[in-house]
Each structure stands twice: as C-alpha cells, then as structure tokens.
C-alpha cells in the first residue's frame, strides 16, 4: 500500500523545527530586475514575492536588524564566466551596470545594508556572508527571494550547513513555475529550514520585544 509522502517523512523523523535563536538577519536572494520581470528571466509569482517582501524589509529596518541582499554579477568581458553561465547563457547579461542585475527599486538597499555579488547559486558560496553574519552575532537567518528551486534552496542548504537556524519566508519566495516551488518548499521544510509566513514571523519577533538582542 502506497503511503502518503507526509506520513513517510513523519515516520522517519523528518520535519523537525529549529526555531529562532538570539539574533536574526534577513537575506534577500536575487530580487533583481532580471529575475523578477516575467518578460526577462522572472515570473508573476516572483514579482508578487518581491512586493510581499517590502513589509518584512521595513520591519527589519525599523528594528535595526541585519539585512543582506544578493545580486548575480558577471564580468562583461567574461573573465568570471563559469559552468553556471555555460548551462544558463542568459546569465551573462547580468553584468555590473546591466538593468537586469540591479536590485528592484521597491527593495533598494540602504547604504548600511550588505550587498553581495555572486556567480553561483548560494548566497554563501565564496561570498564572505557567513563572516558578516558572525560579525553581527547572527544565529538565525530569514531567507526570501528567488528562485525557490535554485538560489533560494542553495542558500538555505548552505545556511543550515553553516549551522544557522534557517527560516524560509513562505510568501516571500517564488519560482518560475509552481511545481518546482511546491516540491522544494516541502523538501526544505522536511530537512533544512522552518517555513513560516511573513505575518507569523513578524508576530513572533514582536512577541520577543520587537527586537532580538
């Protein structure tokens, strides 16, 4: 008799909760024009996720909690082209000054916020992000952005592997298609991260005094 996937995972002990630690950081993964616009490399779902993130970003800023943004940026001459660009040639368009590589205006970073330029999927891979989080005494990462099955998932796995309590904000992540989004949200929740809504997170942080120490 075929078992429901939830039953199998529960029986085998997956789906635990890591919760909040002492200090949170918000990591916005690749909310750039190219990955948000459905006419470029994005989708309507990603555009909606970016809009949903505005309130959460404001919440973090008001409480002076650490915020980091990521951009995919490749050299215009091709000096740092890699296997990622071999598999997805359109990424070569994401150069320093290209419109596609700029963070969307509604989530434009403040001068006090970290902006990471990366050439791989994970926000952590060869970027120094973990050192920055350690400097800010962070033990819990909240991850938003796109795409769920790509750079978000890679960042979530690396966050957990760097021993951060990791939370995926369910209404602030999206993909180009619903199927990979749903599959990866389920899998991340079972093994790598808590999955919580934006509202639940804000209520949780507010209950802790509005600002974690």
Give pLDDT tens digits for 104-123: 999 999 999 999 999 999 99
Rg, Å, the chain Cα set: 17
The per-residue pLDDT for 3 is 60
138/213 Cα distance (integer angstroms): 10
The per-residue pLDDT for 2 is 54
Residue 213 clears pLDDT 70, i.e. is over it: no
Using 50, 70 and 90 to split pLDDT, how confident is the model at 207? confident
The per-residue pLDDT for 210 is 47
pLDDT > 90 fraction of the chain, expressed in percent and rounded: 82
Non-local (6+) Cβ contacts of 209 within 8 A are none
10 Å Cβ neighbour count for 6? 12
142/140 Cα distance (integer angstroms): 7
Domains of the chain and any CATH numbers: 19-71+102-207 (3.40.50.850)
The per-residue pLDDT for 170 is 98
Closest CA relative to residue 122, chosen from 151, 144, 159, 82: 151
- Average pLDDT over every residue of 134-151: 97
Side-chain-facing half-sphere of 65: CA atoms under 13 Å? 25
Give pLDDT tens digits for 41-69: 999 999 999 999 999 999 999 999 999 99
- Average pLDDT over every residue of 94-102: 95
For 127-190, give the DSSP string: T-HHHHHHHTT--EEEEEEE-IIIIIHHHHHHHHHTT-EEEEEEEEEE-SSHHHHHHHHHHHHH
In the sheet that 114-118 helps form, which strands lie side by side, from edge to edge?
Answer: 114-118, 67-72, 24-29, 140-146, 165-174, 194-196
The per-residue pLDDT for 209 is 61
Q: Is the N-terminal amide bond of 15 cis, ω within 30° of 0?
A: no
CA angle 124, 50, 80 (to 5 degrees): 40
pTM, whole model, 2 decimals?
0.92
Active site positions, annotated? 151
CA 194, distance to chain mean position in Å, is: 13
Residue 14 clears pLDDT 90, i.e. is over it: no
The per-residue pLDDT for 29 is 98
Give, to the nearest 10 degrees, the angle between helix 198-207 and helix 44-62. 10
Using 50, 70 and 90 to split pLDDT, how confident is the model at 94? very high
């Amino acid at each position: 008799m075929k078992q429901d996937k939830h039953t199998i995972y529960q029986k085998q002990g997956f789906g635990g909760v890591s919760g909040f630690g002492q200090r949170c950081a918000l990591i916005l993964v690749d909310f750039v024009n190219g990955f948000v616009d459905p006419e470029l490399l994005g989708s309507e779902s990603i555009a909606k996720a970016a809009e949903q993130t505005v309130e959460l970003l404001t919440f973090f800023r008001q409480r002076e909690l650490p915020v980091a943004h990521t951009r995919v940026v490749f050299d215009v001459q091709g000096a740092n082209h890699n296997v990622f660009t071999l598999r997805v040639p359109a990424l070569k368009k994401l150069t320093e000054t290209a419109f596609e590589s700029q963070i969307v205006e509604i989530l434009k970073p403040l001068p006090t916020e970290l902006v990471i330029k990366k050439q791989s999927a994970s926000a952590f891979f060869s970027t120094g992000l973990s050192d920055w989080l350690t400097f800010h005494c962070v033990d819990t990462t909240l991850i938003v952005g796109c795409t769920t099955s790509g750079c978000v998932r890679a960042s979530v796995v690396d966050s957990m592997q760097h021993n951060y309590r990791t939370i995926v904000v369910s209404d602030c992540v999206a993909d180009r298609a619903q199927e990979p989004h749903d599959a990866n949200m389920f899998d991340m929740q079972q093994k790598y991260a808590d999955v919580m809504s934006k509202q639940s997170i804000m209520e949780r942080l507010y209950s802790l005094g509005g600002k974690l120490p």
